[in-house]
Amino acid sequence: MAQHVVETTGLPLPPEIRFRLLTPKEWRSAGLQHRERILQRDIADLELPPEKINAMFGALRISSAFTTLVWPLVLGQTIKAADGRTETTIVPRALHHSGLLADEQCLTQMIAHELVHHAQAEARSGVIWHTFFPTERKISKHGVAVSLEGHASWADQQVTTRLFGRPIDHRQQAPRSWRYRLHDSIPGIRRLGPPREAYEQGARLIAHAVQTHGTDLVNRAWKDSALLPATEEITAPETWCRRIAV
Q: Give whole-number Cα distances, 95 to 31, 89, 122, 208, in Å.
A: 17, 12, 26, 31
pLDDT at position 150 is 96
pLDDT at position 196 is 83
pLDDT beneath 50, residues of the chain: none
Name residues whose C-beta falls within 8 Å of residue 168's C-beta, 6 or more positions apart in sequence. Answer: 105, 106, 108, 109, 156, 157, 160
Euclidean distance between CA atoms 130 and 64, whole angstroms: 17
Supply the pTM of this predicted model: 0.95
Strands 77-80 and 18-21: unpaired
